[in-house]
Amino acid sequence: MKTSKFTSTVSGAAIFIAVVSILSKGLGFLREILFAGIYGLSTEFDIYLIGAVIPLTINTIILCIGQNYFIPTYNKAKSDNTINLNVFVRTNFYLFIVAGLVLALILYMNRENILDLFLGGSEQNIIQTTNHVFILFLLSIPITAGISILIGYQQSNHEFRYSIISNIIPNITVLFFVYFWGSDMIVAIPIGFIVGNLIQISYLMFSSKELFTKVNASISQLTLLLKSSLSSILIVVLIESIGQLYLISDRLFYESITEGGISALSYAQTIFFLPISILTISLSTAIFPKFSILYQEKKKEELERIFSTGILISVGIFVPIMILFIFYGDTITKIFFERGKFSFIDTVKTSDVLSYYAFGIIFYSIYGVINKLLYSIGMIKKLLLITIIGIVLKIILNIILVEQYEQNGLAVSTTLSYLFFFVTSFFIVNKNILNSKRKVFIPNLVYYSVNALAAFIFTKIFVQFMQAFHIGTFYEIIIFITVYSTNLFIVKSNLLNIFSSIINNFSMSYKS
């Protein structure tokens, strides 16, 4: 099979990314299961999460910049045809690494003040361990900066294989280090992560070795292009930095909630983001370069068609997932985490948080697609405004809800802010970009919600009727998924048509 041909289409790229993401996220989930068994909802894991939050948040921001700044800028440089593209990519690669190193040094010099925000009155041994975790994770920042540009370069050229496969590497190394040394020292996690990052960047550099051949370029042209994109990258940095304050804003309430509350939020988010990272991120990663190109070529109808498809897929898939998280969250949490030090009480606490997150999963999944569209067409100032208002709303709600509802209140505030992001960004897209008379979201939301609720009610009635056989909740989940999928087949849902088209594209690529 010609993989590169298959992954050059949106559907092909999305399904390839999703398949490899299942492996990557499966390893990531195995890592979280290992964490749960070794640490449970403990103070030790709480302080690890606090020490890691700022460096890992910065890494996430950097990876987003690698897409949201670099891909549109690279496509612009390609269309202008005024500079050697390899030189442009290589220059960004080195600049990002240097900037990441400078940022890591600044954070290192201010580490005591930073950690004091989270651990103000904590014991000295807790502060010392958190400090070690924080310093180790700082080492990953310049490495991630280089990785972000290499991934952006490969995705700009619709080459998803190496970048997606490379994401598996850090999960493998973390698993290795935690399995052998995790029970003795919490710093095994950041050490494994750094080793994985070093292997990952080496792999990406090897797969993009054409970038590092000697090519001369006009310094003036290169400087002009970088200057023209400077304002864009600054706004992107602001958007991604503010948008990633969610985890940090929750960690700031460490002393306001019960022991293990931060850990419960983390484990619940791991479950929450698993389907999103496999499906929404796979879809938006494949769509983003297409959005950028179609907008540059003024192909509005094709742009609108792909956007509508993204909405339909998100609603059709995440409505039943929302039902599962709300009504079967305890079973799902138990299956994944309840072993070792992760007790039944930990399961109850984590599943409660998950049920509150669940109400926001549809809004967040669709916002993931809209976010890429707004970046592609350059509406980053409006995206910045939305992000600022959203995080302010999140912090205000945290303050209001945390005292009475503790970690559950933090989860509710996150869900409400996701709703805000979706509503405002969806309004901007429909008013300023698509101007479409076709209604995409509401009809599909009603259609798939009715289907999912009908499947859930049927499942409950069937289980009650068959109570003599003592059908467990795990099998209830299987029955619900089966009934929901069967309904889609019976009514010939458009979602199935899309999946059928993807399978046909895959088959044609294989035969060619």
Instruction: Kindly report, residue by residue over 10-20, the tens digit of the pLDDT.
Output: 555 555 666 66
Torsion sign, CA atoms 481, 485, 488, 494: positive
Please tell me the distance from the alpha carbon of residue 334 to that of residue 407, in angstroms, as a whole number: 19
How confident is residue 507, by pLDDT bands cut at 50, 70 and 90? very low
Per-residue model confidence (pLDDT) at position 2: 46
Q: Does the pTM exceed 0.85? A: no
pLDDT at 299 over 80: no
User: Which element (helix H / strand E) includes 141?
Assistant: helix 140-156
Instruction: Kindly report, residue by residue over 386-440, the tens digit of the pLDDT.
Output: 888 988 999 999 999 998 889 999 999 999 999 999 999 888 887 766 655 556 7
Contact 347, 337 (CB under 8 A): yes
Instruction: Provide the H-helix boundaries in 377-440.
Output: 380-429
Percent residues over pLDDT 90 in the chain: 34
pLDDT at 238 over 80: no
Helix, strand, coil % in the chain, rounded to nearest 5: 85, 0, 15
CA 429 to mean position of chain CA atoms:
21
289: CB partners within 8 A, 6+ apart: 71, 75, 155, 156, 158
Tokens in use for 96? 């990002």
Measuring CA to CA, which residue among 56, 163, 150, 36 is closest to residue 97?
A: 150
- Can you give 5-26 as a three-state secondary structure string? HHCCCHHHHHHHHHHHHHHHHH
Contact 270, 32 (CB under 8 A): yes
Please tell me the distance from the alpha carbon of residue 111 to that of residue 130, in angstroms, as a whole number: 10
Measuring CA to CA, which residue among 367, 349, 359, 464 is closest to residue 407?
A: 349
Per-residue model confidence (pLDDT) at position 241: 72
Q: What's at 461, amino acid-wise?
A: I
pLDDT at 218 over 70: no
Q: What mean pLDDT do residues 159-187 have?
A: 87
pLDDT at 509 over 50: no
Full DSSP string of 20-76: HHHHHHHHHHHHHHHHHHHH-S-HHHHHHHHHHHHHHHHHHHHHHHHHHTHHHHHHH
Per-residue model confidence (pLDDT) at position 42: 86
Judged by average pLDDT, the poorest of 210-224, 361-375, 488-502 is: 210-224
Contact 7, 160 (CB under 8 A): yes
Give the three-class secondary structure for 500: helix
Tokens in use for 56? 């890992």
Contact 16, 278 (CB under 8 A): no
Percent residues over pLDDT 70 in the chain: 81
* 237 or 92, higher pLDDT: 92
Opening angle at CA 469, ends 468 and 470, nearest 5: 90
CB atoms within 10 A of CB 490: 9
Instruction: Kindly report, residue by residue over 174-185, the tens digit of the pLDDT.
Output: 999 999 988 888
Per-residue model confidence (pLDDT) at position 21: 64
128: CB partners within 8 A, 6+ apart: none
Average pLDDT, the chain: 82
Contact 329, 413 (CB under 8 A): no
* Residue ranges of E strands in 249-312: none
Judged by average pLDDT, the poorest of 327-336, 360-369, 465-474 is: 465-474
Per-residue model confidence (pLDDT) at position 512: 45
CA atoms within 13 A on the CB side of 319: 24
Tokens in use for 168? 């598996």
Per-residue model confidence (pLDDT) at position 296: 66
Per-residue model confidence (pLDDT) at position 320: 93
